[in-house]
Chain A
Amino acid sequence: MSKALLSKPWIWSFLGAAIVFIAAISFTGGTGAGGMITTALALAVFMVVVGLGQMAVITLGPGNVDLSLPANIGLASAVSMTVMNGSDGLVVVGLTAALACGLAIGLANYLMIRALRIPPIVATLSSSFVVQSIDIAYGRGLQIKPPPGFAAFTNLQLAGVPVCALLTILLSTAIAVLLRRTVYGCSVLAVGQNARAAWFAGLAVERTRAITYGLCGMLGGLDGALLAGYFQGANVDLGNEYLLSSIAVVVIGGTSVAGGKPNVAGIWGASLFLVLLLTMLNTFGVSAGVRLVATGAVIVAVIAAAGSRGAAAPGLK
């Protein structure tokens, strides 16, 4: 492998995913390899979608993080399923409702950070409490099954590749282009590297932040609708596991936690890595406790081995 390739921060997450996959396959003696990849891709989609949003927010600079994603996913899943009302004709309207719901939460987060001057980590935490309550009060006794067509679509495969995964690759590419090739994207990176300098350079710092929190909220909303389709129904706890994993995939994927340096490819690598790691531990048949310890140990080991702050952002500091 060439040196240039090895110096890419995202390569490690893909290497990790490959190693874990090989370990799982050799344990089963090669059976079920195709199915394992299909399932991994299908589940990775949900991590990638929220991971992309979290990545954009983290790229805004130190302290920026969205802890309201799990509550957002829960509420958007309930809203979209209610709007779809079990009818395939209303899928587009339902998806729009999920996006709007997520956008509203994202913008509310931003308003609290901007107008009330609350640090993002506590602001998004507080808003997640409120959103969770709204979800509990709103979701009670509602029809929350997805329309059959939408449920089938989220489970649809093309030669063993989930269609949702293909669409998410398109979405990821779009976000990569958005961040690298547009004025908005360059502003996000500039704000993340040095907000003060970005402001002096005449960039719309606050508008950039508002759009980014809104974008992250929308991706959370989209994820909620997709999850409700895939798992055949909305519920309050649907997004719980994405609090930690949305942050984990961003950092394992090589995005700089110091901000200003996103990495879209790494989100995919890290999501596949985490999903395959869980699949591998499941095939080994270990208990829940051991699975958690192993997941944590791997995250710490990967970060200690590859992800030095200095190495991840050379020449930036």
Chain B
Amino acid sequence: MPRLSARLMRELLPLLSLALVLAAIAWLNPRAISYLGFTLMLNLAVPIALATVAQMFVIAGNDLDLSIGPFVSFIACIGATWLADQPVTGILLLAASVGIYAALGLLIQWRNLPSIVVTLGMSFIWQGLAILVLPKPGGAAPAWLQALMNAQPPLLPFPILATAVIALVAWFALMRTSYGAILRGSGGNKASITRAGWSSLQIKAVLFAGAGLFGVLSGLALLGVTTSADANIGNGYTLLSIAGVILGGGEFVGGVVSPVGAVVGALTMALVASPLLTFLNIPPDWQVGANGIILIVVLATRAQIGRKAKTA
């Protein structure tokens, strides 16, 4: 029973953070809490949520991906050029990118390398490739991508609907399938998973391929929102995605992740990043700083409540 309630707390805490931020926004500007308000405030939440899920796959196996931001930039650049002009080549390039991610997982597992350094190196490579593909900001998102990201479904705003689907898919894949349990288990106790007959190479490749796939989706979603790309467009996502996973109740070691929490964490980050600050009338000089302070407050609150739940 105590184990179960600890897990419940883990799922509930991110929601609490999100509710807190939403309450602050509602108090500052009640009109923001509406169909149009959410559509505008959360338009960048979809790519951030996808990048956060990508990061979560890597963190589930006790690794860290420092290259996801530049990777998202690279995908957005491919989307705005190749995918728009020559769809077949574009799709092949996107598939190859996921393949490179899987190969990276294999390399890290095979040579027993520190993922931080390998992905650090990869971040230079993706950044360089993004600049080579699109030296100057520009390009154009394929029409279908723009149409999808600007959809206005009835009742619920598109970002809320889309992030709910993302959370559901990630939750099902990692928490409700037996292979998902194996994947998380590789972060918890790799030795016992390998002794049970599972290939650690395959597990790592699947985790990284998952990260690559969601990274590709994140880059495309970002491009759909912004309609044109530049080589630095997604660079901030590395740190946003890590913060989202941790905010969502994930931990750096032990295969402890929460897909729903991570998506909620990403939503919180997206709201904190700009709408909340706009409503607070923070001068531009202090916006980044206010971001940092809110992040600190939210994380500290989470840690305090989490500790109480553990000792209680």
- Which A residues fall within an 8 A CB radius of B? 62-63, 67, 112, 116-119, 121-123, 125-134, 136-137, 140, 244, 247-248, 251-252, 257-258, 287-300, 303-304, 307-310
Contacts and interface: CB of A to CB of B under 8 A. Distances in A.
B124 A295 contact: yes
B139 to A, nearest CB: 15
Contacts of B295: 122, 125-126, 129
Nearest to A294: B128
A308 B111 contact: yes
Contacts of B145: none
A130 B289 contact: yes
Given A62-B253, A133-B290, A308-B111, A300 B296 contact: no
B60 to A, nearest CB: 16
B14 to A, nearest CB: 14
B168 interface: no
Contacts of B127: 292, 296
A127 B291 CA distance: 10
Which among B66, B120, B239, B253 has the highest number of chain A CB atoms within 10 Å?
Answer: B120
B292 A130 contact: yes
Contacts, number: 156
Interface in B116-142: 116-118, 120-132, 135
Contact of A130 (B124, B125, B128, B293): B293
A116 B300 contact: yes
A127 to B, nearest CB: 6
B296 A307 contact: no
Nearest to A118: B299
The 7 A-B residue pairs with the shortest CB-CB distance, nearest first, are A133-B289, A129-B292, A296-B124, A292-B128, A299-B121, A293-B128, A296-B125
B287 interface: yes
B286 interface: yes
Interface in B294-312: 295-296, 299-300, 303-304, 307
A292 B120 contact: no
A296 B303 contact: no
A129 B122 contact: no
B162 interface: no
B107 interface: yes
Nearest to A312: B114
Contacts of A297: 121, 125
6 contacts: A62-B253, A63-B252, A122-B243, A244-B120, A292-B131, A303-B114
Contact of A257 (B114, B126, B130, B287): B114
A112 B128 contact: no
Contacts of A244: 66, 120, 123-124
Given A117-B300, A119-B252, 7 more contacts: A62-B252, A116-B296, A116-B303, A125-B243, A129-B288, A289-B129, A303-B118
Given A296-B121, A296-B122, A129 B128 contact: no
B122 A300 contact: yes
Contacts of A309: 112-114
A300 B252 CA distance: 22
B246 interface: yes
Which among B116, B303, B307 has the highest number of chain A CB atoms within 10 Å?
Answer: B116
Contacts of A300: 118, 121-122, 125
Which among B114, B126, B129 has the highest number of chain A CB atoms within 10 Å?
Answer: B114
A299 B300 contact: no
A290 B300 contact: no
B44 interface: no
A307 B113 contact: yes
A289 B299 contact: no
Interface in B50-106: 66
A296 B293 CA distance: 33
A258 B122 CA distance: 20
A137 B122 contact: no
Contact of B112 (A132, A134, A308): A308
Contact of B132 (A119, A251, A293): A293
B278 to A, nearest CB: 16
A304 B121 CA distance: 11
Which among B66, B121, B128, B242 has the highest number of chain A CB atoms within 10 Å?
Answer: B121
A303 B296 contact: no
Contacts of A252: 117
Interface string B227-241: 000000000000100
A152 B90 CA distance: 53
A128 B113 contact: no
Nearest to B306: A117
Contact of A291 (B128, B288, B293, B299): B128
A130 B288 CA distance: 7
Given A289-B128, A295-B124, A307-B117, A133 B299 contact: no
B131 A299 contact: no
A118 B132 contact: no
Contacts of B107: 304
Contacts of B121: 248, 295-300, 303
A287 B128 CA distance: 9
A239 to B, nearest CB: 15
A136 to B, nearest CB: 5
Contacts of B122: 296, 300
B299 to A, nearest CB: 5
A310 B293 CA distance: 39
B303 A310 contact: no
A119 B302 CA distance: 12
B131 A251 contact: no
Given A117-B303, A296-B125, A308-B111, A122 B242 contact: yes
A304 B243 contact: no
